[in-house]
Amino acid sequence: MSKLNRILPLCVLAAAASSAVQASDFSYDYVGLAYVSAEVDDVNIDGNGMALEGSFSVADNYHVVAHYTDIGFDYNIDGKTFDLGLGYNRAISEAVDVVASVSYVSVELSEPTFGSVDDNGYGVYLGLRGMVADKVELLGGLNYVNLSDSGNDTTYSLGAGFDVTDQIQIGAGLSNNSDGNSYNIGVRFYFGK
C-alpha cells in the first residue's frame, strides 16, 4: 500500500475529532473553527491544519452537518476531507442525548511527486453528549467510515466544551483509530441561541 493510501483513513480520523453533533437541549445551529494535529502510527507521518464545521437545524431533532478539514502532512502531503450529512438527536435524560448522523464523505490526498489520490464513501456516527456542569459538556462516540477504494475504519472520539458565553464555546477533542491519533482545539460560534 502506498504512503498516500495509508494516510487516507487518517484524514477521516482528523475530521472525526471535530465532528461532534449537537444534542436536543442544546443549540445545534453553529459554525466552528479548530486547529487539528494528526499522526499516522505505521509510517511515522505527522501533520497539522484547520477544520471548519457547521450544523444547521432543519426540523425538530434533525439538522444538517458539514465538516471540512485541510491538513498538511510531512513530505509535502496535503490531505483534505469533506463530509455532508443529516444528523438526529434524542434526549435520554435531562442532561444527556444520544446523537447519530449519516454523511457523504470525500477524501483527497496530494503530493508533488506521486500526484493525488481521492476516495469517497459514507460515514455513520453514533454518540452521547451531556452536560456535566453548568457550562461544561462532554461528548463521545464512534464514527464508522466506508470509502469505496480504501475500505472501512471505525474511529472513537472524545471531547469537552466550555461555554464562555451563550454564543461562544471553546473545546478540545481527540480521536483514535487503527492508523493513528488526531487532536483538536477550537471554538464554536452559536447563533439563534
Q: Say how many C-beta atoms besides its own lie within 10 A of residue 69's C-beta.
A: 29
Q: Are strands 30-40 and 45-59 parallel, antiparallel or unpaired?
A: antiparallel
3-state secondary structure of 94: coil
pLDDT score recorded for residue 19:
42
pLDDT score recorded for residue 179:
86
Greatest alpha-carbon span in the chain: 54
pLDDT score recorded for residue 18:
45
pLDDT score recorded for residue 193:
64
pLDDT score recorded for residue 6:
52
- List domains and CATH numbers for the chain: 3-190 (2.40.160.20)
Query: Given CA atoms 22, 25, 31, 32 in this order, what sign does their dihedral have?
Result: negative
pLDDT score recorded for residue 28:
82
Q: Are strands 62-73 and 45-59 parallel, antiparallel or unpaired?
A: antiparallel
pLDDT score recorded for residue 73:
94
Distance CA 51, CA 34 (A): 5
Q: Is 24 left (phi over 0), alpha (psi -120 to 50) or beta?
A: alpha
Which set of grid coordinates corresponds to residue 123?
A: 460515514
Could you read off the pLDDT tens digit of each residue along the chain, which spans 193 residues? 444 555 555 555 555 544 443 333 577 899 999 999 999 888 889 999 999 999 999 998 999 999 999 999 998 999 999 999 999 988 888 888 889 999 999 999 999 888 999 999 999 999 999 999 989 999 999 999 999 998 999 999 999 999 999 899 999 999 999 889 999 999 999 997 6
